[in-house]
Amino acid sequence: MKLSVFGCGYLGAVHAAAMVSLGHEVIGVDPDAAKIAKLSAGETPFFEPGLPEILAEGIASGRLSFTTDPAAAADADVHFVGVGTPQRKDGAGADMTYVNQAVADLIPHLKPGALVVGKSTVPVGTAARLATLVEQAGARLAWNPEFLREGFAVKDTIEPDRLVYGVAEATKDQDTEILDSVYATAIASGTPRIVTDYATAELVKVAANSFLATKISFINAMAEIAEVTGADVTQLADAIGHDARIGRRFLNAGVGFGGGCLPKDIRAFTARAEELGKGESVAFLKQVDEINLRRRQRLVDLVSDSFDGQVFGRRVAVLGLAFKPDSDDIRDSPALDVAVRLKGLGAEVISHDPEAMDNARRVHPQLDYATSVDEALAGAEAVVVVTEWKQYRELDPAATASAVARPVVFDGRNTLDPAAWRAAGWTYTGMGR
Ligand code: UDX
């Protein structure tokens, strides 16, 4: 099929390349000329394992191209809208500028009967509003939320856990058939598919992210209790996780969640529920957010306490800046926030991250960045692990002890083996263990 993808950021670029590897012909459209030039040359504007390969294959096949010109997408049968919906500058709600602009750019070029498919995470009610505009242009609209995780984006797009189609009742069968053809490979392998209305499809996405955020803040709340009782939150998570109704995944306590999705999605959902007069239904999400942000400060306080509050001028190695491993994304990153807060207290912070340092440097030039882990560790009086990159998890405690000035480690992701580090002479502090 001939597809277009409006928006070539994280979601859109991955979606475009993945659709080509499923056999379709795809044109990616984005107003950012620099981004289009990069993608056209086969370069990925961000770190995502597996993306460079499928991008290069797509371009070489002649079935993947990128443009800034919406008119070039005119002959596509299906147009995906995968632009960002960042948090608004005033803090409340999602910024819908890019979604509105993409649909406005697309409308003059829609051929009769084309299907516009929204993938962005939007406030419930958006699809119904956009459907009116698209239908006036003689085309139709479906909402098909995306559940990809950074670091696994290619796999999550090609082999999703489930497919959700929000479609108009009047054209349900027709639209379902088109989306089934787009996702024929996943459908053939038995991927569960939910065909529903617009509002449900929009809500599935924010509900899923809210649930995941709640699960993380739940275990972090337990970490707070564990800290005052001497309990171990990791063992607690293992024990409750054996109950299949609870499940062990997303019960890792630490500095909490960040990234371009969970934090802004729970805030936008709260704002939307308030607009709908149902703020009380999701009032708990404010606590989810608060617990999450509290854990960052908790880690900073633990480091500061280890210096009896005299953190000024102390050399602190911060290992990790990305919001999670296998990503160079620093949006709302707890790791970067911890580094900045320690620096704000006057610590001599030296940070390291295998992929995210360039992005961090652009936003926080005041931090010092080490070119290697060894450089970060040399002479450190405290080591703070805040992103669980494999290379940090695999640090040898004995060798690391001889590199630092004071063997004191803070495990912001509960990712190190406390017994091994203590045996090598370290003072180990985890988060709630
Ligand atoms: C998330 C959703 O998982 C995905 O389905 C959705 O499409 C987009 O948002 P992503 O932002 O890539 O994906 O990251 P995810 O793997 O969910 O991690 C989010 C944050 O939670 C990270 O900062 C991670 O470190 C943190 N986290 C995750 C925890 O603190 N504890 C956990 O147990 C799991």
Instruction: Please indicate, yes or no, whether residues 73 and 102 belong to a single structural domain of this protein.
Output: yes
Instruction: Please indicate, yes or no, whether residues 282 and 421 belong to a single structural domain of this protein.
Output: no
CA distances from 315 to 144, 326, 342, 382 (A): 48, 27, 10, 7
Instruction: Please indicate, yes or no, whether residues 235 and 104 belong to a single structural domain of this protein.
Output: no
Q: What is the mean pLDDT of residues 41-60?
A: 96
Instruction: Please indicate, yes or no, whether residues 20 and 163 belong to a single structural domain of this protein.
Output: yes
Question: How far, in Å, from the CA of 9 to the mean position of ligand 1?
Answer: 18
Instruction: Please indicate, yes or no, whether residues 34 and 149 belong to a single structural domain of this protein.
Output: yes
Q: Which of these three, 254, 273, 289, is where a domain ends?
A: 289
Instruction: Please indicate, yes or no, whether residues 324 and 305 belong to a single structural domain of this protein.
Output: yes
Is 411 part of a structural domain of the chain? yes
Q: 128: buried, middle or exposed (CB in 10 Å: 19+, 13-18, 0-12)?
A: middle
pLDDT for res 359: 97
Give nearest CA residue, ligand 1 atom 22: 257
Confirm whether 261 is a catalytic residue: yes
Is 48 part of a structural domain of the chain? yes
Tens of pLDDT, residues 148-203: 999 999 999 999 999 999 999 999 999 999 999 999 999 999 999 999 999 999 99
Do 383 and 400 touch, CB atoms closer than 8 A?
yes
Is 49 part of a structural domain of the chain? yes
Residue with tokens 């040399």: 378
The CATH number that applies at residue 331 is: 3.40.50.720
Tens of pLDDT, residues 385-407: 999 999 999 999 999 999 999 99
Q: What is the mean pLDDT of residues 51-79?
A: 98
* Domain count for the chain: 3
Instruction: Please indicate, yes or no, whether residues 307 and 398 belong to a single structural domain of this protein.
Output: yes
Tell me the residue type at 103: V
Report the distance separating Cα 414 and Cα 378, nearest Å.
23
Q: What is the mean pLDDT of residues 255-268?
A: 97
Mean pLDDT of the chain: 97
Is 102 part of a structural domain of the chain? yes
Percent of the chain residues past pLDDT 70, beyond the cut: 100
Minimum-distance ligand 1 atom for the alpha carbon of 250 = 33
Helices and strands (H and E) in the chain: how many = 18, 14
Tens of pLDDT, residues 306-358: 999 999 999 999 999 999 999 999 999 999 999 999 999 999 999 999 999 99
pLDDT for res 138: 96
ipTM: 0.98
The CATH number that applies at residue 226 is: 1.10.1040.10
Is 122 part of a structural domain of the chain? yes
Q: 334: buried, middle or exposed (CB in 10 Å: 19+, 13-18, 0-12)?
A: buried
Instruction: Please indicate, yes or no, whether residues 228 and 305 belong to a single structural domain of this protein.
Output: no
Instruction: Please indicate, yes or no, whether residues 176 and 45 belong to a single structural domain of this protein.
Output: yes
Give the Cβ contact number of residue 317 at 10 Å. Answer: 26
Instruction: Please indicate, yes or no, whether residues 309 and 369 belong to a single structural domain of this protein.
Output: yes
Is 151 part of a structural domain of the chain? yes
Q: Which of these three, 161, 196, 231, is where a domain ends?
A: 196
Q: What is the mean pLDDT of residues 355-366?
A: 96
Give nearest CA residue, ligand 1 atom 19: 257
Instruction: Please indicate, yes or no, whether residues 226 and 104 belong to a single structural domain of this protein.
Output: no
- pLDDT range class, residue 91, cuts 50, 70, 90: confident
Q: Which of 156, 222, 257, 387 gets mutated to test ligand 1 (max ligand atoms within 8 A of its CB)?
A: 257
Minimum-distance ligand 1 atom for the alpha carbon of 213 = 21
**Segments forming the whole domain that contains residue 89:** 2-196
Q: Which of these three, 263, 289, 315, is where a domain ends?
A: 289
Q: What is the mean pLDDT of residues 73-99?
A: 94
Give nearest CA residue, ligand 1 atom 1: 149
Is 201 part of a structural domain of the chain? no
Q: What is the mean pLDDT of residues 226-233?
A: 98
Instruction: Please indicate, yes or no, whether residues 17 and 155 belong to a single structural domain of this protein.
Output: yes
The two tokens of residue 244 are 């299949």
pLDDT for res 92: 74
Rounded to 10°, the helix 233-241/198-229 angle is 130
